[in-house]
Structure 1
Amino acid sequence: MGDWMLNEGPKWAFLFIWFGTNIGVFTGFFLKFYNGAQYYYLNQILGLALPFARGSAACLNLNCMLILFPVCRNLLSFIRGSCNCCRIICRRNVRRQMDKNITFHKALAYMIIFHTAVHIIAHCFNLEFFMQAWDSPNNQTRGLLSTLSTQEDPWLNPIRDPNTNTTVELLKFVPGITGVIITLSLIVIYTSSTEVIRRSYFEVFWFTHHLFAVFFIGLVIHGVQGVVRSQTNIDLHDPVLCATQYLQWGPTNPECPVPQFAGGPAQTWQWVIVPMVFYMIERGIRFYRSQQKIVITKVVKHPSKVLELQMKRKGFKMEAGQYIFLHCPSISRLEWHPFTLTSSPEEDYFSVHIRTVGDWTNALAKMCHADEKEFQEAWKLPAVAADGPFGTASEDVFQYQVDICVAAGIGVTPFASVLKHVWYQYNNPNFETKLRKVHFFWICPDTNAFEWFSDLLHQLETQMAEQGKRDFLDANIYLTRGWDQNQAKNIMLQEEDVYDAVTGLHQKTNYGRPNWDAIFKGIADANPNTSIGVFFCGPKVLSTTLHKMSNKYTNIEEGGAKFFYNKENF
């Protein structure tokens, strides 16, 4: 049994800290408003609804402060790879958690929805309790506190007229109006962020998600009116003593003068100002990049509906395995789509391979004249913009002694960049690396998908053979379907040939699906006391399998192999 904590420990530690912080913040504010002497009279009217409302409000501030950071892609890329100090401070296992930024963004959204629900329900009770306080006899504390509302300064109950209804009173106050706006914005943002909407109606998702600006503006001004008031003269008027022993308040009673109340200042802006500044900087960088001119230098149409674009942009710098967001204003002024870079940093251009399976990608292929055989001049090609590049897990390929790179279908794109870069650096005498072996696995659905990537593998295989380093890259291609009876017979007849009948590589193609148990066990046995990086790009089902295998065959005892699982997320 492997050591589960190596891969799962940092994630659960992070979640434990996050949940613990939420619980701590909620508890702290709950007790402050439940036990605080300055809120004694307010609690006499509202009971537990007040501390529940304030505790959930504090947690809303906390999570709204955090939710913008996971979508600051430039900041994450800087921390993850560009900042040498950050790489020293943040250990590899800590940096790997940044690959789950969108997952954490979604988790924060769920937490915000939960605390919003608690906050709304608590304030619904608060509003009703304020109304009911007017029905209490004036010789009771709640009644006395409500009559204070007829005076100008010391009012505690914000409802001044007992002959009204809760809806009217709700819309009299800034918290009520902004609360409605915030809640409606949150509902629209959440419902339009579901996967079916995001994939089928991207522009709906894009438009509605920008309601976050309305949400944050409403959040900042939600508490400016200071409706929740605290007692300011508890040194002169002991609320516990006066509420239990004295039923008459006034300037003639030295023991219990009239209690004074005041609303507190709005505090939400103090929580969210820093992330909002970071996000504005992020958007500024994105806008600047979107205005930079990009030249498409080459368009190649590959089998299996794969389109390759080679581009150049002044000052463009990348690392292996990074990704960009591509924008074509002629197709849509709103849509930006993520694509992994397939070129290596050593090349004088950057490229992406795009599988044309949707409206946007098909429109791009048409505008690039991908089906036309003649050469297209640059002015005939569409104008495009790129945002990025942004860091991914693949940047850490040199942090391990052995790498296992697994791709499924078009998920092979990041490894086109990674394998080329690894080979360039491996042959650079001035580059020091502890990486000594790369195992590459490509699970492919049909034979047509091999062509564009097999050329790269063939080139690497030839260069390794010429330099006597054939063992550095162990390429394993698995064909899961897509061959007919005649092709099967042809493959069997050429089984004894030096090169594979399908790919033309020295390494023979495997048919069917990999036996991951045997593969991981074999690599673990062959590499004792070794840190092994597992990098994957592909569907969730296979990701789950590889994640389990990494945990199963990890052995943290002395002499054991350690598998670190990394998944591409963008």
Structure 2
Amino acid sequence: RARLCCLGGWVATTALLLALGALWHRERGPALALARGCGQSLNLNCALLAALMLRRSLTWLRSTPLAELFPLELHVRGHERVGHLVLALGTAHAGAHLAQAGLARRDWLVALGEYVRRARPGAGGVGGTAPQTGLALLALLLAMLACSSPCVRRGGHFEVFYWSHLSYIPVWLLLLLHGPHFWKWFLIPGSLFVLEKVLGWVWRRAGDLHILEAKLLPSKVTHLVIQRPKSFRFQPGDYVYLNVPAIAAYEWHPFSISSAPEQPETLWLHIRARGQWTTKLYEYFQQLELHSLELNPPGKSWRGWRNQHWEQVGLDLSLSLDLSLSLDLSQCFLDGPYGTPSRRIFTSEHAVLIGAGIGITPFASILQSIMFRYRRRKQSCPSCHFSWSEERRDEEMTLRKVDFIWITRDQQHLQWFLGLLAKLETEQAELEPGGKFLELHLYMTSALGKGDVKALGLQLALDLLAAQEQRDSISGLRSRTQPGHPDWASVFGKVAAEQRGRVAVFFCGSAGLAKVIRGHCRSFGFRFSRENF
């Protein structure tokens, strides 16, 4: 509902500004009326482009009641949609002005040439430069849109996206020169944007952070343990932007924090090698593992100067038997933390957390923090040592029940967080034997389901073995690992039947699976949130 209201308000306001601008100039011809109308709408939407990327301000808004009124988790998607509209309105605006200039004279080609080449008083903008600044703006917007397409960002060309998107600086300068009234719309979001950038730059450069440990996990996952700054405060599920100068000096990439806020000295990041930067990160630590005495970062041939930095720093490298790397002096920078919809988990009553593959990362932090708070809520009798958990409501956590669903491809992927899940099971067994506050549901998609005749005998044997040993044969957990994909209608039906309060579903994974789960949530009346950044 909030999404539809915001979308409707945005479309209605844009259309209203376009109509008013056209009506105010209708006597000067249809071309100029269209140009002025598009210009009025562009004032709003160009300012909105900046407002939607105020990450620190949006993180603060998540802690206020306004988070219930606006779909803040969709700010990146909203930024993309507004960008597409800005390009469309800009094209129509420029086309209408060119048409007006050409229609004014018979030799319209000559007229257009003069209109574009020379700045004339009365042509609009500062010093009559509106035609020139307008065409420059249109060219920059086209370049930014082309370089921000998914095939560029996810095809191993992040640097192209990053450097082309820095064109927002000349874009805003040109807009201030082009539109006489744009500064009124841009004053507040532009000031906040500059303030956030300056504060972020000062904070990043003031912190002298190092990677304390790097562990290589199956399926090309790098587990980084980073020194936690003293003033670094975050909420479970938050994410940070990471910069490792040894990999790329100017690239910043977002990753969810997988450690709990209650862990005081370090931060955990689990990074799967998918794109160009994450693959370089994994290969770099892999080379350090194989050649501990010879530091040879990937891409040495075209970034050889970085070796000098590492030689001057003087790494003290030691390899352990579990393939972890102790890097006492490896430098990194963090920007954040930034909030996500997962912050609402603790104010829910019955939370269903669904992670697909490496999508478990934000929930690792959340599950640890949940058990920490649950442990603090535990009460015990000093005489008979009987313990119980109070069902009191507080601002910190109102959870009554948590269901965690993790969907992985094969057994190797389970090793990413198997130790953490085993620890959570043990803690719950100690605090509340037989308790059902936290339930784990694991699914392995590469295994044949119970309905498949080929796997029927194997699944029966695994069920008997699990019943006998009270542990799952695949993961070693008390929770049984189910083969195949979840039957969402059955899973959500059981959740609804428990009646432990209002159900909120939080998902982190692929867009295709998110669409399927969102549809089931609608049918059951569950609230759905997806991790986006």
- TM-score, normalised via structure 2 length: 0.83
2:182 aligned partner = 268
Deviations 1:102-159 (A, max 9, x none): 0000010011011112111211221013225xx9xxxxxxxxxxxxxxxxxxxxxxxx
Task: Report how far residue 377 of structure 1 moved.
Answer: 4.8
1:147-546 counterparts in 2 under 5 A?
Answer: 164-173=110-119, 174-199=129-154, 200-223=156-179, 266-291=180-205, 292-312=207-227, 313-348=229-264, 349-368=266-285, 369-370=288-289, 373-374=319-320, 376-379=325-328, 382-429=330-377, 432=394, 433-468=397-432, 470-481=435-446, 491=462, 494-496=465-467, 497-527=469-499, 530-546=501-517
Task: Report how far residue 302 of structure 1 moved.
Answer: 2.1
Tell me whether 1:51 sits opposite 2:6 in the alignment. Answer: no
| Distance in 2, Cα, partners of 1:499 & 1:33 | 76
Task: Report how far residue 284 of structure 1 moved.
Answer: 1.1
2:310 aligned partner = none
| Distance in 2, Cα, partners of 1:454 & 1:165 | 71
8 Å contact kept, 2:215–2:325: no
8 Å contact kept, 2:447–2:483: no
Q: Of the two, which has the highest radius of gyration?
A: 1
| Distance in 1, Cα, partners of 2:488 & 2:429 | 28
Give the secondary-structure state (helix, strand or coil) at the position aligned to 2:422.
helix
Task: Report how far residue 482 of structure 1 moved.
Answer: 5.8
2:10 aligned partner = 18
Tell me whether 1:93 sits opposite 2:65 in the alignment. Answer: no
CA RMSD of aligned residues (A): 2.3
| Distance in 2, Cα, partners of 1:460 & 1:164 | 76
Q: 1:547 aligns with which of 495, 506, 518?
A: 518
8 Å contact kept, 2:408–2:445: yes
Give the secondary-structure state (helix, strand or coil) at the position aligned to 1:295.
strand
Task: Report how far residue 273 of structure 1 moved.
Answer: 2.2
Deviations 1:31-60 (A, max 9, x none): 1112xxxxx5xx2xxx11111110000001
| Distance in 1, Cα, partners of 2:353 & 2:477 | 18
User: Mean alpha-carbon deviation: is it higher for 108-117 or for 309-318?
Assistant: 309-318
| Distance in 2, Cα, partners of 1:547 & 1:55 | 38
1:566 aligned partner = 529
For 2:85, give the aligned amino acid: M
| Distance in 1, Cα, partners of 2:289 & 2:181 | 56
Task: Report how far residue 419 of structure 1 moved.
Answer: 0.4
Deviations 1:518-541 (A, max 9, x none): 11122112217x321100000011
1:71 aligned partner = 53
2:311 aligned partner = none
Give the secondary-structure state (helix, strand or coil) at the position aligned to 2:196.
helix
Q: What is the number of equivalent residue pairs in this alignment?
A: 464
2:89 aligned partner = 115
| Distance in 1, Cα, partners of 2:460 & 2:345 | 39
| Distance in 2, Cα, partners of 1:54 & 1:489 | 72
User: Mean alpha-carbon deviation: is it higher for 417-426 or for 354-363?
Assistant: 354-363
For 1:474, give the aligned amino acid: E
Give the secondary-structure state (helix, strand or coil) at the position aligned to 2:274.
coil
Task: Report how far residue 365 of structure 1 moved.
Answer: 3.0
Task: Report how far residue 489 of structure 1 moved.
Answer: 8.7
1:150 aligned partner = none
Q: What's the % identity of the aligned pairs?
A: 28
| Distance in 1, Cα, partners of 2:23 & 2:210 | 61
Give the secondary-structure state (helix, strand or coil) at the position aligned to 2:415.
helix
Task: Report how far residue 493 of structure 1 moved.
Answer: 5.9
Give the secondary-structure state (helix, strand or coil) at the position aligned to 1:536.
strand
For 2:171, give the aligned amino acid: F
Give the secondary-structure state (helix, strand or coil) at the position aligned to 2:105.
helix
User: Mean alpha-carbon deviation: is it higher for 286-295 or for 172-181?
Assistant: 286-295
1:231 aligned partner = none
| Distance in 2, Cα, partners of 1:163 & 1:446 | 65
> Which ranges in structure 2 are unaligned for 5 or more consecutive residues?
120-128, 293-318, 379-392, 449-453
| Distance in 2, Cα, partners of 1:187 & 1:465 | 58
Task: Report how far residue 429 of structure 1 moved.
Answer: 3.4
Give the secondary-structure state (helix, strand or coil) at the position aligned to 1:329.
coil
Deviations 1:309-362 (A, max 9, x none): 111223111110111111111211221111110000100221101112343223
Deviation beyond 4 Å, 4+ runs, structure 1: 482-490
Task: Report how far residue 490 of structure 1 moved.
Answer: 6.9
2:314 aligned partner = none
| Distance in 2, Cα, partners of 1:370 & 1:564 | 45
8 Å contact kept, 1:131–1:166: no
Deviations 1:428-456 (A, max 9, x none): 23983321000110111010111231211
Deviations 1:481-532 (A, max 9, x none): 168989879735623321000111111110011110111122112217x321
Deviations 1:537-559 (A, max 9, x none): 000111001111111111xxxxx
For 2:167, give the aligned amino acid: L
8 Å contact kept, 1:300–1:370: no
| Distance in 2, Cα, partners of 1:124 & 1:274 | 32
8 Å contact kept, 1:299–1:370: no
8 Å contact kept, 1:307–1:370: no
User: Mean alpha-carbon deviation: is it higher for 465-474 or for 478-487?
Assistant: 478-487
8 Å contact kept, 2:38–2:90: yes
Deviations 1:69-103 (A, max 9, x none): 1111111111113xxxxx13x1x5325x1000100
For 1:104, give the aligned amino acid: G
Structure 1 pair 52/359, CA: closer, same or farther in 2 (3 Å)? closer
| Distance in 2, Cα, partners of 1:163 & 1:187 | 24
